[in-house]
Chain A
Amino acid sequence: MDPTAVKDLNVVDMIRVSGVISGAVALFVTWFVVRLLTGVFTRLGNQFAHRRLALNQVATLTRFVMYLGGIAVAAGLAVNLSKEVVLALTGTAAVTIGFALKDLAASVLAGIIIIIDRPFQVGDRVTFGGTYGEISAIGLRSVRLVTLDDNVVTIPNNKFLTDMVSSGNWGALDMLIQMDFFVGVDQDVASAKRLVEECLISNRYVYLQKPWVVLVNQVIQGEYFAVRLRAKAYVLDVQYEKAFETDVTERVIEAFREHGVLPPAVLHRRVAAAALGASVGVPAPA
């Protein structure tokens, strides 16, 4: 390397005036193309719901590559990057990134790692730091997560390198849903279990390609002993997660009411038959 070339570097000389405009145009074109592709992939995902997550993954990857490529092209156009300049700037850039933009750089690198390692994908239902929701975007800097109450949570990518994240469906449309129902220990558990099973398997959102199960356990619920009926089945699409839970719960409540299955309560209770219907899910008076 010619040392004089570095010594003579001048920031003003490095900038190409015409290149700045071209670079801005390149960035705009990149943004536009990314928007266009995102729209296309979203529409395709709606059309082919069974491939929605795969299409999301492709869209994320494409977006990532296009943004990085667009920035590189814009930089190449706007800045006179001769070999000497690149070599000279490498050290400076490393120091700058190291001290000033370390979080941003870490996030970008973490984003690449997320794309490669795939701890989750766009469309996955994840829990991160106590927040549960659906991944709506994986960007250069951050991941966007939409909670079930429709809040958008933005999490820097580098957080995922150190903190634990759990994915409920990990790239699949279907997802295991677990629901607990409690009945009194003096109730007909076999009947209650059968009712929960029937409510579970007759649900319109249930996914038939994976198994289901209802588990029975005795627990202390609040101040009472209770029998817990834990129903596990897969919902056919994560977007129906809450609808699935709601429907199963409604069916179970209705079935319990019809068949006189009572919730947990202090034992040796005396409950009027008329009060049975209203008491499901609420501790009955002793």
Chain B
Amino acid sequence: MAAGGGGKPSADAGAFDASDAEIDRRDAAGGEDLEALRARAGTLRRELDAVRTLIAGSLPEELYTTELFRVALLDEPAVEARRRELEREIAAGKNDLRRTRADAGDADDAGLAETKAELDRAIAGLALDLAGARLTFLRESKEQRAAVLDAEARHRRLAAEKEAAGEARTRAAGQERAAEEARKKALDEAESSREASQRALANERARAEGIRGAQATLRRELADAREALTGAERDHARTLFELADAARAAGTGSAEADALYEKIVAALGVARHDLAGELATYASVPPAPRYVPDPDAPPAGHDARSDLARSLDHDADELDTDRRNLGWDRLDAAVERVSTINAERLALIERLGADKRDEVLGVGDEGRRQFGREVDQVRLVTRWAWVSRMRTLGRARAALTDPLVLGTMLTRVLALIALIVLARTVRRRGPATITAARALLTRILRRRVLVTPLSTILAIVAALLGELLFLAVVLALPTLVGSLSSSPVLATLHGVLVAYAVYRLAIAAAHRGIARAASAGVAKLDEASSEKILRSVRVVGRYALAVTVFLVLSRAVLGRGYLYHLASRFAWLGAIPIAAVLIRGWRDDISARYLRTRDTGLLADAVRRTRERWYGFFVAVAAFLVVLASFVAGSARRFVLSFEQSRKALAYLFRWRLERRADDQAAPHVAAVLPAEVRDLLADAPVVGESYALDRFPGMDRFEAALATWIERGGLGALLVVGRTGYGKTSWLNAAATHAGEIPITRINLDSRPTAATLAATLAGPLGCDGAADLAGLAEALRAGPRRLLLLDDIQNFFQRGVGTLETWKAFTELVTATGDRVFWLAAIAHHPFEYLTWARRGEDVFRDVVHLPAWTEREIAALLVSRTQQTGWEPIYEDLIVDRIEGVDATQLLSTSQDYMRLIWDYAEGSPRVALHCWASSLVPEEGRRLRVRLFRRPEAGFLEKLDDVQKFILAGVIWHENVTAEEMVGALRFPRARCDDTIARLRERGVVREQGERYRITVHWWPAVIRYLRRKHLIET
């Protein structure tokens, strides 16, 4: 700024004055700008300090987040937008800062400009820092921002309360002074009164004013206490906020977390102490001073004295209420403080280091201290619940006067009633509905694989309907009644109810399961045992329920603290006495069961000797463990064996082990000559009603029904039996003959392949129609003859692959059609020819009723072999097949080995009883004492088949495709040269793959499984 000189004005004085004024104006304007800039810088600095305080985990004293961030902190999109805005601000701020620094060098007005530039730079720097700090805070998690908002709201409330308390104190002080003056005045009046009555009246007024003064004093004290409370609460809130922030920042398993835990426990101790003090104080609140008029006082201004008394009474009531409210607020604040700190402690327990955690939750000194603290907590919570009972009831009563609350409650009660009615209705009508659903499912799905599991599920639902409904109702309660999280008591009750509902369901499921097992005879349980098991299940269930309820209650009262963890970790210990009780109760059954399965050995002797002794209990424990292990192993085995592929895998494994052992022993396999009676009974020929024949003829009922219908009503009588080689087609026809009743029966076995021209001649002889020259004649003769049952075996010989070779079959079907009302045609055909026929004729056939003989199951094959062997009167010995022999052989091992071997045979035979009998007979080596030593049968050398070339492969397949075939037929079917066919067949005969029977070739029983598997692998047959 330029200084003005004195003296005569010069020529350019006007200009000088004007310039000076301009400078003054600029100085003034510059001064105002500087003030504004300084104010701006101050504001920015305060805001920056406040944001940094927030980031550091504390609440700022003056500024709130609404002013600091100008965004709703819980609105994620808004926060995100603000973050982007701040990022832009930061980028722009950096440019501003660079520019202001550059401008600083160009300033022409040195003094002012420099100051202004400095301020500009400072403001730009502060704005940049503030934007960075804001961005840092806004990048915190939403939970953290919510915590800040909560703390801030509390801070605001407490500030408002403090202000109100201050005003109340001022008012009370004024009232106190006024009352004191009025009392003094009344006393003066009393002294100056000449009459006793006036003096008495003045004294009475002075006493009343004294009471008013005491009330004012109390009001002031209450205001002081309220102000102190809000101050303390603000301090506590700040401390809690900082603790929570530190807890969030502490890493899991870190030393900081461990140290913070100690700090929190100390704070909790103080808070609990405060709470205990508040509880004691709340229980002993003295009443406010009250004015009781002197009955001896002379009458005067009755209304005035009554008004005074009423006014003082009213004030006393208000003071009592204020006092109680203050006490309650102090108590409430203490409880909340304890709860908040305890919640932080519980959350921190999960993040303590392993050592610290073990120390805190263990049974050492620290654990005992934890236990003591939690017991104190329980005591405090109980006292708090008792103290707050009337207040809670009062609040509930007050809430009920609100029509909206009342309406909501009514709606929920109605929903609850509707739920109960619905549950009762479902309970009543459920079984019938489930039965109908099962029937519907069976109709719709039809596939057994789906229907069976669904039916099982529905049956389980029907059996447990009541318990399931109870559980469903309990689980649905929160939805109907509203969230229970706002009411810890209701939430706890609900948790207990859920545990009880699950307990009921578990017990009922166990009961039903046992009853089902008992009724199905699977577990061979009688009613008493079933009840006993049910009682045992209840014992276990009740213990589990008790533990669960304890956990629910301890979590509700104390959180997942010491007691909760203690119960969780050591609940299993309760299983020991329960197991002891159960084993004691089941001791006799365990011993009996053990001795039934293992009657020899040290443990068995001990069990027998100690059954009547007290220490037999310990032996029973050992026996129980063995029985349990055996049960688990048996169950696992049964489960695995319920799958066919598993059985096949086991069979393969067993064979592999046997073969490996045989290789190790290098024992040559010598085919044994069986005694005639054994050989006859184990022959693989079809059965004709022998006593040892198993009554296994699937579809026989269909034949009987069809035959009866045909006899009664006429129509076309035709039924086809389809089966693989050795599955029992011929035996089936034999059995059918015995089931046919009185009807005349004729049987024809086709051992050659007739042509269409020779068909009549082939059939006429056996049918007793020798005069029939052609099919028409034969049909006429059959129609003229008696009604009869005709059994035709091997009708695959009516066709073969080749051009014109289906003519015989067509002629045959025409004959069946023409004579079906007089002759019941029961025919048997091999599987692969039938498959070809069905494919070639695309389902167009006279035999609409077809019985497919299924493969024999493992159980049926075993039954066949065992029954035939028993008929021989010789005893099979399985000792040579035991692969895990260590020392001695027990009955269980022998039984298991025999089962494994039966499974092996079943697997190898592909369910064919003929092959199974052949393998079984090949396995037996007779020895003295009418014993048959069972050894692994020798399989054909499958490597031979692998060496076959393409032509030989097709010739082998041709035999299977036709079931039996001549060399000439093979040439026609496969169109290979005759010499090649003859050569291949000769080779196959030499190796025993095929056998010749009247110029027709068939696969031998010995090679049949190997050939079938080989052709499947080569994709020449599919099934």
Contact = CB atoms under 8 A, between A and B. Distances in A.
Interface of A: 47-50, 173, 195, 198-199, 201-204, 208-209, 211-212, 236-237, 247, 250-251, 254-255
Nearest to B801: A202
B1022 to A, nearest CB: 5
Nearest to B839: A208
Interface of B: 801-806, 835-836, 839-840, 842, 946, 954, 957-958, 973-975, 1016-1020, 1022
Contacts of B802: 198, 202
Nearest to B972: A202
A198 B800 CA distance: 11
B1019 A250 contact: no
B975 A237 contact: no
Contacts of B836: 208
Given A208-B835, A208-B836, A250-B975, A202 B803 contact: yes
A204 B958 contact: yes
Given A201-B840, A204-B958, A209-B1022, A50 B803 contact: no
B842 A204 contact: no
Contact of B842 (A173, A211, A247, A255): A211
B973 A173 contact: no
Contacts of A208: 835-836, 839, 1022
B852 to A, nearest CB: 16
A134 to B, nearest CB: 16
A43 to B, nearest CB: 11
Nearest to A52: B1019
Contacts of B801: 201-204
Given A50-B1019, A202-B801, A250-B975, 4 more contacts: A173-B1019, A201-B801, A204-B973, A236-B1019
Contacts of A212: 839
Contact of A50 (B805, B840, B1016): B1016
Contacts of B1016: 50
Contacts of B835: 208
B803 A255 contact: yes
Contacts of A49: 1017-1019
27 contacts: A47-B946, A49-B1017, A49-B1018, A49-B1019, A50-B1016, A195-B803, A198-B804, A198-B805, A198-B806, A199-B803, A201-B801, A201-B839, A201-B840, A202-B801, A202-B805, A204-B973, A208-B835, A208-B839, A208-B1022, A209-B1022, A211-B839, A211-B842, A212-B839, A236-B1020, A247-B975, A251-B803, A254-B803
Nearest to A250: B975
Contacts of A250: 975
A231 to B, nearest CB: 13
A204 B835 CA distance: 14
Contacts, number: 52
A208 B836 CA distance: 7
B958 to A, nearest CB: 7
B803 A204 contact: no
Nearest to A174: B1019
A211 B836 CA distance: 11
Q: Which 5 A-B pairs have the closest CB atoms?
A: A50-B1019, A202-B801, A201-B840, A198-B803, A208-B839
Contact of B975 (A48, A198, A251): A251
Nearest to A258: B803
Nearest to B974: A204
A95 to B, nearest CB: 32
Given A50-B1017, A173-B1019, A204 B975 contact: yes
B954 A204 contact: yes
B1022 A237 contact: no
B1017 A47 contact: yes
A202 B1019 contact: no
A85 B413 CA distance: 70
A236 B1022 CA distance: 10
A202 B840 CA distance: 8
B975 A50 contact: no
Contacts of B803: 195, 198-199, 202, 251, 254-255
A199 B806 CA distance: 12
Contacts of B806: 198
Contacts of A247: 975
Contacts of B975: 204, 247, 250-251
Nearest to B841: A201
Nearest to B836: A208
A173 B1019 CA distance: 9
A198 B803 CA distance: 5
A182 to B, nearest CB: 19
Q: Which of A208, A209, A211 has the most CB of B within 10 A?
A: A208
Contacts of A209: 839, 1022
Given A198-B804, A204-B958, A251-B975, A48 B1017 contact: yes
B838 to A, nearest CB: 9
Nearest to A196: B803
A85 B470 CA distance: 66
B1015 to A, nearest CB: 10
A247 to B, nearest CB: 6
A237 B973 contact: no
A251 B801 CA distance: 12
Most buried by B among A202, A203, A208, A254: A202
A213 to B, nearest CB: 9
B943 to A, nearest CB: 11
Given A204-B975, A208-B836, A250-B975, A237 B805 contact: no
B880 to A, nearest CB: 32
A195 B1017 CA distance: 32
Contact of B1019 (A237, A254, A255): A237
Interface centre among A48, A204, A250, A255 (most CB of B within 10 A): A204
Contacts of A211: 839, 842
A201 B844 CA distance: 15
A43 B118 CA distance: 88
Which of A50, A203, A254 has the most chain B CB within a 10 Å cutoff? A50
B965 to A, nearest CB: 13
Max chain B CB contacts within 10 Å: which of A198, A250, A255?
A: A198
A244 B153 CA distance: 89
A202 B973 contact: yes
A254 B803 CA distance: 10
B948 to A, nearest CB: 13
A14 B627 CA distance: 67
Nearest to B958: A204
Contacts of A201: 801, 839-840
A212 B1017 CA distance: 24
A203 B802 CA distance: 8
Nearest to A243: B950
B844 to A, nearest CB: 12
B64 to A, nearest CB: 42
Contacts of A198: 802-806
Nearest to A201: B840
B831 to A, nearest CB: 12
B960 to A, nearest CB: 12
Contacts of B1022: 208-209
Contacts of B958: 204
A251 B972 CA distance: 11
A48 B806 CA distance: 33
Nearest to A51: B1017
A48 B840 CA distance: 27
A50 B839 CA distance: 20
B722 to A, nearest CB: 15
A208 B804 CA distance: 19
Contacts of A47: 946, 1017
A276 to B, nearest CB: 18
